[in-house]
Amino acid sequence: MSQPQLQPLTRETLRSLQAIRIEKIRVEQEKQRVYRVNQHIQQIYNQIVHEAEQKGATSYKFHVNNSITLQDIPDILAGLQTLFPDSSVEHSLLVKGNDGNMYDVSNMDEKMRPFINTQQGQQYIVIDWS
């Protein structure tokens, strides 16, 4: 069995090894995040096409679940805006009213927000092509 080849390392190289390792980890994590974002964009795109084609819908609400981080949302919105350039693409907090309908808290008057229980609100990405 052969011995691994050992290489001389300078002080500068030794001092930079941790930074190099951390950068490799950061790059790998970013690759995984971009892959995850692209998967969500593909999923939403397919659902929108299905809704428009099969149901004649003019909007789609995608529930933001635990697999989507707040860091991912701007990239998902940008990707969807590119795919649907003349549609409205927004991130909204929707709250169910006493009448059973969902209301967008972001469009409500600031004076009304203290009266709304946003803890039961759910985040959505809303695409409207009406």
Q: Is residue 2 one of the residues assigned to a domain?
A: no
Quick check: is 52 in a domain?
yes
> Mean pLDDT across the stretch 46-54?
95
Query: What is the share, in percent, of the chain residues with pLDDT greater than 70?
Result: 85
pLDDT at 78: 97
Which segments of 15-121 are extended strands (E)? Answer: 59-63, 88-96, 102-104
Burial of 51 (0-12, 13-18, 19+ CB in 10 A): middle
pLDDT attached to residue 116: 63
> Both tokens of residue 20?
């190099």
Q: Each residue of 99-122: pLDDT tens digit?
A: 667 777 766 666 665 666 656 678
pLDDT exceeds 80 at position 124: yes
Beta strands 59-63 and 122-128: pairing type?
Answer: antiparallel
pLDDT for position 109 = 65
| pLDDT at site 1 | 65
Per-residue pLDDT band for 28 (boundaries 50, 70, 90) equals very high
Place of tokens 């190289």: 13
82 HSE (CA, 13 A, CB side): 9
The answer to whether residue 101 sits within a structural domain is: yes
Give the range of the structural domain holding residue 105, as residue numbers without chain letter.
11-128
Is residue 1 included in any domain, yes or no? no
| Whether the predicted pLDDT of 86 surpasses 90 | yes
- The reported pTM is 0.75
Handedness of CA 40, 44, 50, 55 (dihedral sign): positive
Q: Which residue has the tokens 């090894």?
A: 17
Whether residue 72 lies inside any domain: the answer is: yes
Phi, then psi, of 2 in degrees rounded to 5: -90, 150
The mean pLDDT value for 25-36 works out to 96
The predicted structure's pLDDT at residue 53: 95
Q: Is residue 65 part of a domain?
A: yes
φ, ψ dihedrals at 60, nearest 5°: -145, 135
Domain count for the chain:
1
